[in-house]
Amino acid sequence: MEQVLSDVVIADFTQMMQGGWASQKLGDMGADVVKIEPPHGEAERRVGFNGEFTEGWSYGFLAKDRNKRSVALDLKSEEGYAAAVDIVAEADVVMENFRPDVMERLGLSYEDVREVNPEVIYVSGSAYGSSGPYADRPGQDLLYQAMTGLTTNTGRADDPPTPTGSPIVDGHSATLIALYTMYALYHRELTGEGQKVEANLLNSALDFQCNELTYVLNAGEDLERGARNQGHPMFWSPYGVYETADGYVAIGMSSLTAVGETFGIEEFAAYDDDVGDIFQDRDRIHERIESHTRTRPSEEVVEELSAVDVQAVEVADHSDVESNPQIQHNDMILEIDHPELGSFKTTGFPVEMSGTEEAVRYPPPSVGEHTAEVLDELGYSDEEIDAVLDATGN
């Protein structure tokens, strides 16, 4: 199958998760992602997960930088800057997620790039936006969670503000960047016009909390976490996490009456699945359910509840994910061959399309691995390539 973005070239100046994962999503669909890095490599290469690396490779870089070709350039050198300009002049998309003034200082702002590539789609990701009172502030995922109410709404009533177990703001922002880049490519297909696309992490944190914010902004009251292990401050039991004899189970939005019948809790029938009454009593209801689940193994609880169409699953660790039969069926764990590591495992392609495909064409590259290859494609002579490599220190 032909990949849908096989004729799209992306000059990729991004780093870390917001930008790096966005460009990988486009590379997975066939885009030629030319990753332009400083001579020492982008910042993600030096981030240890759990303080660890695998054979010198960052796990985060391996997760978000397949299907890219690395070109190492010293953008402050005459040779490196000239090469960068030649690359962006031929690109369909330029992507970056530095602080708002960095690309301007490098001479690679939207206005600069448009002079050599009038139809370019210029995609910028930032922390708080390119203007405004916070524009110059650095930012990280936890800060946006804290600013937008997410940490306050996660966990139980007596817990301190609780961050999520994954940098979900970065992840959502990466997906938005990839999505809006596709919008811009389609717009150019229709009109022949390029444009600038700006995304930021603060907006992304607000965007995925549309339910919660719509309630609070209109109801005039804030959300309150339950005292027990409810799954969400706006939802009602049985939605939540329950201790079992050998672990925990999660129960989704389901009929409280059905749960009561399963565990022989006759009083639940009186609620007649009235959401208002259940919400008011959600902590007491949670305790009653958990008094039964604690006496049973997780597998048995899930089987009993599933038999009456109550949504329930065993709570898993990350190490359990690979053995899940549905995850195996969905091919969501990829094993990628790598010239230095032999192979490594990572997450796969989350969406299937009948008329095109995603594929791994390149494993995550070494710094500057494709510099000579890309410059040769641009028509550089051997002497000119050597000059760029010398300026980079390679």
Q: For 164-221, what is each residue's pLDDT tens digit?
A: 999 999 999 999 999 999 999 999 999 999 999 999 999 999 999 999 999 999 998 9
CA pair distance 188, 192, nearest whole angstrom:
4
Task: Kindly report, as residue ranges, where domains of CATH 3.40.50.10540 are found in the chain.
Answer: 9-207+327-392
Chain centre distance of CA 146: 18
Q: List residues bridging with 336 in a β-sheet.
A: 344
Q: Please give the average per-residue pLDDT across 152-160, as a whole number.
A: 91
What is residue 42's predicted lDDT score, i.e. its pLDDT? 95
* DSSP conformational letter for 16: H
Contacts of 43 (CB under 8 A, 6+ apart): 15, 16
Q: Please give the average per-residue pLDDT across 226-237, as a whole number.
A: 88
pLDDT in tens, 330-343: 999 999 999 999 99
Alpha-carbon dihedral of residues 219, 222, 226, 227, nearest 10 degrees?
Answer: -150
Is residue 86's pLDDT more than 90?
Answer: yes
| CA dihedral sign of residues 366, 371, 373, 377 | positive
* DSSP conformational letter for 54: B
pTM of model > 0.75: yes
Is residue 354's pLDDT more than 90?
Answer: no
Proportion of the chain above pLDDT 90, given as a percent = 88
8 Å CB contact between 113 and 122: yes
Q: Please give the average per-residue pLDDT across 242-246, as a whole number.
A: 96
Report the candidate in 255, 11, 204, 218 with the shortest Cα–Cα distance to residue 116. Answer: 11
Contacts of 160 (CB under 8 A, 6+ apart): none
Strand order from edge to edge, sheet including 68-72: 68-72, 32-37, 9-12, 93-96, 121-126, 195-200
What is residue 394's predicted lDDT score, i.e. its pLDDT? 74
Residue 294: HSE in the Cβ half-sphere, 13 Å Cα cutoff = 6
Q: How many CB atoms lie within 10 A of CB 260?
A: 21
Is residue 366's pLDDT more than 80?
Answer: yes
Chain centre distance of CA 284: 36
Domain 9-207+327-392: CATH superfamily, name plus number: Crotonobetainyl-coa:carnitine coa-transferase; domain 1 (3.40.50.10540)
